[in-house]
Amino acid sequence: MDLLQQARAEIDAVDAEMAALFERRMQAVADVVRYKAETGKPVFDAAREADVITRNTARLQNEELRPYYKAFLQEAMAVSRAYQRATLGRDTAAYQGVEGAWSHIALRRMFPFARATAFATWPEVFDTVQNGDAQFGVLPFENSNAGDVSAVLDLLYTHPDIIVTHMQDMPIQQDLLGVKGAKLSNVRTVISHPQALAQSSVFLQQHGFTTQSWINTADAAKHIAELNDPTVAAIASAETAELYGLDILAEGVNADGDNTTRFIVIERSAQPPVMTGEGQRLSLLFTARHKPGQLAVVLDQIGACGFNMECIKSRPLPHVPFEYYFYVQLVCPAGCDAAACNSLLETLTGACSTLRLLGAFTLDGIDQQYNKVRTCEV
């Protein structure tokens, strides 16, 4: 037996042990489910998960393996949460669009076991989460080219019981899709969402294609599949091609290879988000007092407390002409804990007219090779 065979035999033996341990762990999770069903406690416990990660990563002797083991634990806890939600019947996720749309793809990447429910508009997604028909919603929040999705930010402001529990960045790639057997040389007309057409304008002009706007990329792909005309193609995702049985005629037709969409996960909660500190982002909504330099005071206090502000946005206050609210996103510094986060909020409360902790979450990116997720109609 050579070295590779020995190593694989060892891995197989460890995997057999892990299978038994996984089943044992999930049996314990089932007990947790019964307790949460009786008490009504939420599935996600940020403080508990942070503690589990800290304690268990510290047990590794090989420090180089700790970040990998942390990722392993995070994945194990994500599986646990999915199992708990499914068992409790709290696994409905809402999104805007149709199957194969970018929000649907994002939802499937983040919540592969959830029951996905589609809605025509973003307000409907908020309403179904607000009234409890869905446990969470997945929405586009910002695009690296098109900017923020102001309508979603305004909906966050006007729904005080909604919190942001997760944020995910997904790289964008647009593909040209055609019916089975079609070739690029066959195509005469390309249909897609106007934003996808605009992002792919260089490619479209080079080939002299006629374009036609469509309600969204996924529906454009569905339409050409039903049309079954090799002269008509659509710009959409590779996932959509698989969904509707289409061929990819050209990959990466959008001009900007750095295009990324940021999605948020929203949930209803009577309690404010749980702050654990290092590794988290905090998102705040606030209004400033009408005094000279008051906004600068707020921003100075954020910096003085050691938090890096990576984003600030202003939006008109609903029903108050020419007055504004602010959204800021902060990075918790190294060594920061829950006490430091609470101290920051206490400091800012004295400087703001109103202050709301909208979210305390991790910001993750999806590996492009694993997840060839493309764009979002914003």
Burial class (CB in 10 A: 0-12, 13-18, 19+), 135: buried
pLDDT over threshold 60, residue 177: yes
DSSP state of 308: E
Which helix (H) or strand (E) element contains residue 13?
Answer: helix 3-39
How much is the pLDDT for 256? Answer: 64
User: Are 163 and 264 within one domain?
Assistant: yes
What percent of the chain has a predicted confidence (pLDDT) above 90? 71
How much is the pLDDT for 257? Answer: 63
How much is the pLDDT for 255? Answer: 73
User: In whole numbers, what is the pLDDT of the chain averaged over residues?
Assistant: 90
How much is the pLDDT for 264? Answer: 96
Residue that is written with structure tokens 């970018």 in the block: 102
Q: Is residue 348 part of a domain?
A: yes
Amino acid at 269: S
pLDDT over threshold 50, residue 373: no
Which helix (H) or strand (E) element contains residue 198?
Answer: helix 194-199
User: Are 300 and 238 within one domain?
Assistant: no
Residues 235-264: tens digit of each pLDDT? 999 999 999 999 999 999 987 667 889 999
| 153 three-class SS | helix
What percent of the chain has a predicted confidence (pLDDT) above 70? 96
Any idea of the CA torsion for 189, 193, 198, 199, to the nearest 10 degrees? -100
User: Are 118 and 264 within one domain?
Assistant: yes
Which helix (H) or strand (E) element contains residue 130?
Answer: helix 122-130
User: Are 230 and 279 within one domain?
Assistant: no
pLDDT band at 365 (very low <50, low <70, confident <90, very high): low
Q: Is residue 373 part of a domain?
A: no
User: Are 186 and 295 within one domain?
Assistant: no
Q: Write the DSSP assignment of 345-370 as a string of letters.
A: HHHHHTTEEEEEEEEEE-EEE--TTT
The residue-averaged pLDDT of 44-48 equals: 85
Q: Model-level pTM?
A: 0.81
Q: Is residue 375 part of a domain?
A: no
Residues 69-123: tens digit of each pLDDT? 999 998 899 899 889 988 888 889 999 988 888 899 999 999 999 999 999 999 9
The span from the CA of 73 to the CA of 41, in Å, is 22
* Domain housing 217: 175-250
Tell me the CA end-to-end span of the chain in Å, nearest whole number.
57
User: Are 205 and 99 within one domain?
Assistant: no
How much is the pLDDT for 216? Answer: 86
How much is the pLDDT for 367? Answer: 41
Query: Which stretches does DSSP call E strand in 297-351?
Result: 308-316, 324-331
What CATH number has the domain bearing residue 287?
3.40.190.10
User: Are 44 and 184 within one domain?
Assistant: no
Do 96 and 117 meet the contact criterion of CB atoms below 8 Å apart? no
Q: Which of 250, 272, 290 is the last residue of a domain?
A: 250
CA 266 to chain centre: 10
The size of the chain, in residues, is 378
Q: Is residue 378 part of a domain?
A: no
How much is the pLDDT for 372? Answer: 35
The residue-averaged pLDDT of 45-72 equals: 91
Q: Write the DSSP assignment of 54-96 as a string of letters.
A: HHHHTT-S-GGGHHHHHHHHHHHHHHHHHHHHHHHT--EEEEE
Look at the chain and report how many structural domains it folds into.
Answer: 3
How much is the pLDDT for 147? Answer: 78
User: Are 324 and 358 within one domain?
Assistant: yes
pLDDT band at 198 (very low <50, low <70, confident <90, very high): confident
Q: Which of 224, 250, 276 is the last residue of a domain?
A: 250
| 289 three-class SS | coil
User: Are 104 and 138 within one domain?
Assistant: yes
User: Are 97 and 81 within one domain?
Assistant: no
Q: Which of 70, 88, 106 is the last residue of a domain?
A: 88
Residues 142-176: tens digit of each pLDDT? 988 777 889 999 999 999 999 999 999 988 888 99
How much is the pLDDT for 50? Answer: 86
Widest pairwise Cα distance in the chain: 78
Burial class (CB in 10 A: 0-12, 13-18, 19+), 371: middle
What CATH number has the domain bearing residue 8?
1.20.59.10
Q: What is the radius of gyration, based on Cα positions, of the chain?
A: 23
User: Are 158 and 297 within one domain?
Assistant: yes
User: Are 142 and 164 within one domain?
Assistant: yes
